[in-house]
Amino acid sequence: MTNEVQKVVLTLPASADFVDIVRLNLYGISTKMGFSYEEIEDMKVAVSEACNNSVLYAYGQEDGLVEVTFEMNGDILSIIVKDDGESFDNVTLQDECNTLHNKDLDDVEVGGLGFYLMQALMDDVIVESKQGYGTKVVLTKRVMRSEEAV
C-alpha cells in the first residue's frame, strides 16, 4: 500500500439527522485502516461532538452545510469538520481549556465539554475559527499497533 494521502469528502446539511452518516463512513474507513473497536468508538464520539458543534452553533436557525473530510495517510486518520457559519472565540479553547483541573463544572462554557472530550479521545485536535470564515476542527488519530504485530 502506498503512503499517498487518500480522501473521502462528505458535504451534508447542517442537521443532526445527518451525523449518523458521518459515523457510518468513519466506521467503514477506520475498520479498513485497522483501528481497534475501542479506537473506533472513541473516534465516533469525537467526530459526533465536532459535527454537533457545527449543527448547533454555526448557522442558528438558517440552513447550512457541513463538510467532513476523512484523510488517510498511512496509519494516520485525520477527520476535518468544516462549516462556514458563525465562528466562536477559540482563544479560551486554546489557552485555558487544556484541563478541567481546579475548575467547577459551572465554570465550563456551554459546549466546552465537547472539546475536552475530543482532546481526550483523539491524538490531536486543532480548532480554527475565524469571523466570516466559519470553523474547522481537525481530529487526528494514529492506528495503535500491538507489540506482537511488529
For the chain, domain boundaries: 6-144
Cα angle vertex 77, ends 144, 10, to 5°? 150
Q: How far is CA 108 from the centre of its chain?
A: 20
Helix (H, G, I), strand (E, B) or coil at 12: strand
Cell of residue 58, nine digits: 454555526
Per-residue pLDDT at 76: 97
- pLDDT 10s digits, 43-87: 999 999 999 988 888 887 778 999 999 999 999 999 999 999 886
Per-residue pLDDT at 59: 82
Per-residue pLDDT at 93: 45
- The CATH class of the 6-144 domain is alpha beta
Per-residue pLDDT at 94: 43
- State which residues of the chain have pLDDT below 50: 1, 90-103, 105, 108, 110, 148-150
